[in-house]
Amino acid sequence: MKTELEGRTKEFAVRVVRLTRSFPKTVDGIEVGRQLLRSGTSIGANYREANRAESKDDFIHKVGVAEKEASETSYWLAICAEAPLGEADQVRALLKEAGELLAIVSTIGRKAKTTRRLKAAGITVLILGAVGLSLSAF
């Protein structure tokens, strides 16, 4: 799954690059293109970094950044759809993919946080048990 999602986010970034090249060289086309380019290419970069994290907390943080970038990308693509900027079918397809990437990355982050909490709770239970206490005492 890790390398599959890395590949999917990279392909998404390439599609965003191609889309922004088609924007008009006007103030709005340049600025929206710049914002979309930054956020759309950051999803995969941050997810890739998360997979090379030095700790669970680092992983959770970097996945969270990827989630924020996916959300921001959805925003800019919605602007493109309504403005309009870019070819409508490409924008719609990218907007759909951005939503799917956001859902996937959000789920990964949520599961990582839950796993961290469960492990921490398990350690607490082990420590309490080792000293002869139970959670019902609290």
Q: What is the pLDDT of residue 115?
A: 81
Per-residue pLDDT 10s for the chain (138 aa) are 568 999 999 999 999 999 999 999 999 999 999 999 999 999 999 999 999 999 999 999 999 999 999 999 999 999 999 999 999 999 999 999 999 999 999 999 999 988 877 776 665 555 555 555 544 444
- For the stretch 38-41, contacts whose Cβ atoms lie closer than 8 Å and that sit 24 or more positions apart, written own/partner, are 39/69, 39/70, 39/72, 39/73, 39/76, 40/12, 40/13, 40/16, 40/69, 40/73, 40/76, 40/94, 40/98, 41/13, 41/16, 41/17
Q: Quote the pTM value.
A: 0.82
Map out the domains of the chain as residue ranges.
2-112
Give residue 116's pLDDT: 73
pLDDT for residue 28? 96
CATH architecture assigned to 2-112: Up-down Bundle (1.20)
